[in-house]
């Protein structure tokens, strides 16, 4: 079993680099946070947490498509030391890819005649790796890439039928229309944009790109044309998430979270004064739903009711309980 941790005391080292949510075996939602020391799991919407150390720390988390007629609960975890398949309920870890400096991971369902799931691992030095068979058959998928550091993914919610996805390097965005076999660099409004993050609408063909110091760029046609979104033109955007209805976008800045309409206009500041927001968990159905933000010092913030209610929690790996 994972170690348990008190969320009110503990170490201030580290940053919450990734957030995800997954349905547990009994249908209970699990909130998962990654830091550069451990994978943390909450079964009560962030009130209490367990943790499991991950070699090298956590850079990214991808939830996996549900396998029909099974009770599996798994996430794919990227780490500087490789890629792991993790059961967040038990803490069990299986090394799927050794080394490579994995910065980003993603997974999507495939058409029935091709298999079940396609896995992607973006690395710091070796570009993109792809597998349709879990840990057994990782192969390079760098056709069309001119850079070797892949730091973010955004896959179409209809990937099994449209085979469309996007990845970000530190200075560009690439698109695939053939399931990741080949990539084409998109023509962004500015050359060599310092890209930080990507977000893809679950309901529209909207793609948002967050940058360092140049705000957000938005495309409504999956990267064929672009506009500067809202009045965030000089902001650093560390994280982006669409609401589940696709009508709002949550942008993590150096000072908090800004909520934008999907047309690019800023609606309001959800939380100012939080400091840098490095990751954003899956929000509720719309902008009113709870939002979880990953902060520095192994802290998360849980915001509800348009930010009127805010709880901050510090995760810790200092004092494990007996197992």
Tens of pLDDT, residues 303-315: 877 666 788 888 8
Q: What are phi and psi of 162, to 5 degrees?
A: -100, -10
Q: What is the per-residue pLDDT for 115?
A: 65
Q: What is the per-residue pLDDT for 320?
A: 37
Residues 284 and 215 in one domain: yes
For residue range 164-200, what is the model confidence (pLDDT) as tens digits? 999 999 989 999 999 999 999 999 988 888 999 999 9
| Residue entry with tokens 């046609």 | 221
Q: What are phi and psi of 135, to 5 degrees?
A: -80, -5
Q: What is the per-residue pLDDT for 104?
A: 96
Q: What is the per-residue pLDDT for 319?
A: 40
Q: What is the per-residue pLDDT for 213?
A: 93
Closest CA to 290 of 282, 279, 298, 299: 282
Q: What is the per-residue pLDDT for 322?
A: 30
Q: How far apart are CA 240 and CA 279, in angstroms?
A: 8
Q: What is the per-residue pLDDT for 303?
A: 85
Whole-prediction pTM value? 0.89
Domain that holds residue 262: 194-289
- Is the Cα dihedral 170, 176, 182, 187 positive or negative? negative
Q: How far apart are CA 95 and CA 87, in angstroms?
A: 12
Residues 237 and 279 in one domain: yes
| Cβ contact 277:292 at 8 Å | no
Residues 303 and 270 in one domain: no
Q: What is the per-residue pLDDT for 321?
A: 34
Q: What is the per-residue pLDDT for 66?
A: 74
- Count the domains in the chain: 2
Residues 46 and 5 in one domain: yes
Instruction: For residue 172, give every residue at least 6 positions away whose Cβ sits within 8 Å of its Cβ, in sequence order, or none.
Output: 146, 147, 185, 186, 188, 192, 193, 195
CA angle 161, 167, 170 (to 5 degrees): 175
The residue length of the chain stands at 323
Q: What is the per-residue pLDDT for 133?
A: 77
> Do the domain assignments include residue 61?
yes
Residues 274 and 295 in one domain: no
Q: What dihedral do alpha carbons 93, 71, 160, 94 form, nearest 10°? A: 10
Residues 215 and 297 in one domain: no
> Do the domain assignments include residue 130?
no
> Do the domain assignments include residue 270?
yes
Q: How far apart are CA 248 and CA 255, in angstroms?
A: 19
Residues of the chain with pLDDT under 50: 1-13, 285, 319-323
């Amino acid at each position: 079993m994972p170690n348990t941790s008190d969320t009110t005391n503990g170490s201030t080292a580290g940053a919450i680099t990734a957030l995800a949510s997954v349905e547990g075996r009994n249908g209970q939602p699990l909130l998962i946070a990654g830091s550069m020391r451990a994978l943390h799991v909450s079964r009560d919407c962030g009130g209490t947490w367990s943790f499991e150390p991950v070699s090298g720390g956590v850079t990214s988390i991808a939830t996996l498509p549900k396998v029909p007629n099974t009770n599996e609960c798994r996430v794919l975890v990227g780490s500087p030391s490789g890629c792991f398949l993790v059961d967040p309920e038990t803490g069990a870890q299986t090394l799927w890819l050794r080394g490579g400096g994995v910065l980003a991971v993603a997974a999507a369902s495939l058409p029935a005649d091709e298999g079940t799931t396609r896995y992607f691992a973006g690395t710091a030095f070796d570009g993109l790796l792809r597998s349709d068979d879990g840990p057994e058959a990782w192969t390079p998928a760098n056709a069309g890439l001119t850079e070797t550091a892949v730091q973010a993914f955004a896959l179409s919610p209809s990937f099994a039928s449209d085979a469309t996805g996007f990845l970000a390097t530190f200075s560009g965005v690439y698109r695939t229309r053939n399931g990741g076999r080949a990539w084409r660099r998109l023509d962004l409004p500015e050359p060599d944009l310092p890209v930080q993050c990507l977000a893809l609408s679950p309901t529209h063909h909207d793609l948002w790109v967050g940058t360092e110091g140049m705000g957000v760029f938005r495309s409504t046609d999956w990267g064929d044309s672009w506009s500067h979104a809202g009045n965030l033109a000089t902001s650093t955007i560390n994280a982006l998430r669409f609401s589940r209805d696709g009508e709002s976008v949550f942008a993590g800045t150096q000072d908090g979270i800004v909520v934008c309409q999907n047309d690019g206009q800023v609606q309001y500041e959800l939380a100012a004064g939080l400091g840098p927001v490095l990751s954003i968990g899956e929000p509720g159905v719309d902008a009113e739903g709870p939002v979880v933000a990953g902060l520095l010092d192994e802290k998360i913030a849980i915001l509800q009711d348009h930010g009127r209610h805010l709880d901050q929690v510090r995760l810790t790996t200092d004092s494990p309980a007996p197992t």
